[in-house]
Structure 1
Amino acid sequence: MLRPVSFVQPARIEYGSGKARALGDLIAGWSDRRVLVVADAFNAGRTDLLGLPAQTHVFSRVKPEPDLPNLDELLDEARAFAPDLVIGFGGGSAMDLAKLAAVLATSSKGLRDIVGVGKADPRSIGLIAIPTTAGTGSEVGARALVTDPSSQSKMAVESRHMVADLAVVDPDLTVSLPPAVTAATGVDALAHCAEAFTSRRAHPLIDIYAQKGIALVGQYLARAVADGSDVEARAGLAMAALYGGFCLGPVNTTAGHALSYPLGTRYGVPHGLANAVIFPHTLAFNASAQTAKTATVAELMGFDGTKLFDSAHRYCLDLGIEMRMSKLGVPADDLPSMAEEAHGIRRLLDFNPREIASEDILAIYRAAY
């Protein structure tokens, strides 16, 4: 409790049904704004939900695992359009690229210049984050991740200047998510909360959000997967993802995310799905180092604490998640190289509650294969 912690969040968070349609009531001078919307192809097709002003340009080519060329495309269009406001509209990938566009479009720096913590210049462009999934919590975060194709690894940027001025969390936007995406992104939100809760950097200020997020996933994820029109379940998951986002800035994730990254960067496995495949394995691996907190996670989720791995794994299977890496396009002969890559992600693994060697990671990959 005495350890200092930094908790930087958007100046304004709007949560609730219909909030996305009310942007014009939330932003001063809305009709005169030059707005750049950053979205994937699906969400680009429903920007009419936002009631955008006349001077709007939509970048519609956000990739599921955005890389440097994808960011460069966006920056070219952003500089040509010269927006005064950028909106990230979609999942974590869209919101991450929007953050980077807001700080880089008018800067002399490139992405490589700002990799790390606190290296981005102050921005003159407004930034709004509107999630359309209930998973990443990126709408309230200060980080963005982009894949470097040359190294097949994620480059992480963290800056208070990438925190949105306004985060709009509207559960209505998630109703259209198919069951598979609902399930995977929901487990991603769960992983954010559980990993932060059991991290070596865990803090009482953040634990309260982590526990509430876990409880909400346990209460609502299966319901939302079974019935996507269950608006109460959708609202609960949107709130869980928001709480997970609160956990990421001050504490962040640990081994679960480190081990999931190579699945996305090398083989294009969606972020939420990659985390779901790994989640039961790292939860069980870390249990001996965080006995009491892991027992709390199990209780909040309804897992059998005496058979933790089996119970967590069955939970994910029952959501319809494919839990075998071999079925996700990952070749068996690359597992050792993936393990070495994951072991090198020290910004996450240094705070894992239990020391994890590359041999341990390889064993987890093989068990998940």
Structure 2
Amino acid sequence: MTDFTIPIEIARPAIIEFGGGLVSAAGRWARARGLSRTLVVSDAFNAARVGLLDLPGDVVVFGEVKPEPDLPNLQKVLALAEQVKPDLVIGFGGGSAMDLAKLVAVLPGSGQSFADVVGPEKVHGRKVALFQVPTTSGTGSEGGTRALITDPATQNKAAVQSRHMLADIAIVDPDLTLTVPPAVTAATGVDAMAHCVEAFTSKKSHPLMDLYALEGIRLVGRFLRRAVVDGNDREARAGLALASMYGGFCLGPVNTTAGHAVAYPLGTRHHIPHGHACALIFPYTLAFNAPVMAEKTELVLQALGLPASADEATVRDATHGFCAGLGIEMRLSALGVPKDDLEAMATEAHAIRRLLDNNPRDLSREQILAMYEAAY
């Protein structure tokens, strides 16, 4: 289960500021580094509170980040960046804003297009500073090197990974998440958990990452329900922010597995929020992998506060109950997914080899279809 001899490379932001009330550290660090021309990449809600960053000099805000950003959304913010020519790019929002910020920091003026950099380590370099300030607790994108963009033509997500997209500074202020509504808190919290669980049970799992992964799962088990019930619970919000960051740490060297591959078509084809999609799929993929990851599956359930088990039916029922108990709708039919699309979804998911090849148990297209049907 544990192989200490496997080589691994771990990259983290050089500076991580973590704690309530630290959002204005973005301005402090910008002044300290002599940065005075900033492009903030944000969604509409967070665009209205960019003043919290306390930034010096000229500040331009792109406040049109979409959930599950696509190529047109990326091209729009890249065009703005070409005009602004910032010396600092800040991702201020959820994972979508932070993913776009990574690409805005490396593509303008590089001579490279998005298509040129899809895949691992194809980015030539970066000339501007990059800060990340998350406002949700889910993706952990502030600590990672990946960006995901949906191609409308194929309805698939394209992934860029580059060490040049690692933030210089990540500022994690859990107080920024106090405004997140219960349904979004639940879904994003399950996304953080899924990152940790999938890394922990991956064929590529590593003791250095297991430490973060298991603790991230424990934090979700301890704090997610509390934050859903009382959004002003600052301790719970801080615990989830830490879980999210730990999950982001796991994505670089280990990455996700079947859970995310099977969840992706729900977002790209039917616009189900990513965390919600992960919750829908999580019980089925964890249960499917249980026979070959028995010890780790038991640890996952224990970390979530559930009775330890590696029995497939027990694992599925217990984790389904965990997600449903957060108020998450767990039926695809109730979310408007047409049943006649399940076949196409299974075909798409089965083609996401960059994730499925990490899964500890081979998963066929027919088995993916059976998961969708069980979730329907």
Q: Is the 8 A contact 1:30 1:53 kept in 2?
A: no
Question: What displacement does 1:331 show?
Answer: 1.1
Q: Distance in 2 between matches of 1:247 and 1:192?
A: 7
Q: Is the 8 A contact 1:24 1:31 kept in 2?
A: no
1:332 paired with 2:342, answer: no
Q: Is the 8 A contact 2:43 2:93 kept in 1?
A: yes
Taking structure 1 as the reference length, what is the TM-score of the superposition?
0.98
Corresponding letter in the other structure for 1:326: S
Q: Is the 8 A contact 2:35 2:87 kept in 1?
A: no
Corresponding letter in the other structure for 1:163: L
1:47 paired with 2:50, answer: yes
2:268 equivalent in structure 1: 265
**Residue in structure 2 matching 1:365, options 354, 359, 372:** 372
RMSD: 1.0
1:276 paired with 2:276, answer: no
1:180 equivalent in structure 2: 183
Corresponding letter in the other structure for 1:112: A
1:101 paired with 2:104, answer: yes
1:75 paired with 2:78, answer: yes
Q: Is the 8 A contact 2:131 2:170 kept in 1?
A: yes
1:314 paired with 2:326, answer: no
Identify the range of structure 1 (114-123 vs 16-25) with the bigger mean alpha-carbon deviation: 16-25
Q: Is the 8 A contact 1:142 1:160 kept in 2?
A: yes
**Residue in structure 1 matching 2:236, options 233, 237, 244:** 233
1:163 paired with 2:166, answer: yes
Question: What displacement does 1:322 show?
Answer: 0.8
Change in Cα spacing, 1:32 to 1:102, as seen in structure 2 (3 Å) is closer
- 1:263-317: CA deviation from partner (whole Å, max 9, x where unpaired): 1111111111111111111111111110000000011112232521111111111
**Residue in structure 1 matching 2:20, options 17, 20, 23:** 17
Q: How many residues align?
A: 369
Taking structure 2 as the reference length, what is the TM-score of the superposition?
0.96
**Residue in structure 2 matching 1:289, options 287, 292, 304:** 292
Q: Tell me, which stretches of 5 or more residues in structure 2 are unaligned? A: none
Q: Distance in 2 between matches of 1:54 and 1:323?
A: 47
1:117 equivalent in structure 2: 120
Partner-residue secondary structure (3-state), 1:127: strand
Question: What displacement does 1:229 show?
Answer: 0.3
Partner-residue secondary structure (3-state), 2:254: coil
Corresponding letter in the other structure for 1:176: T
Q: Distance in 1 between matches of 2:357 and 2:35?
A: 47
Partner-residue secondary structure (3-state), 2:123: coil
Q: Distance in 1 between matches of 2:87 and 2:326?
A: 42
2:330 equivalent in structure 1: 323
Question: What displacement does 1:30 show?
Answer: 6.3
Q: Distance in 2 between matches of 1:122 and 1:31?
A: 21
Q: Is the 8 A contact 1:32 1:55 kept in 2?
A: no
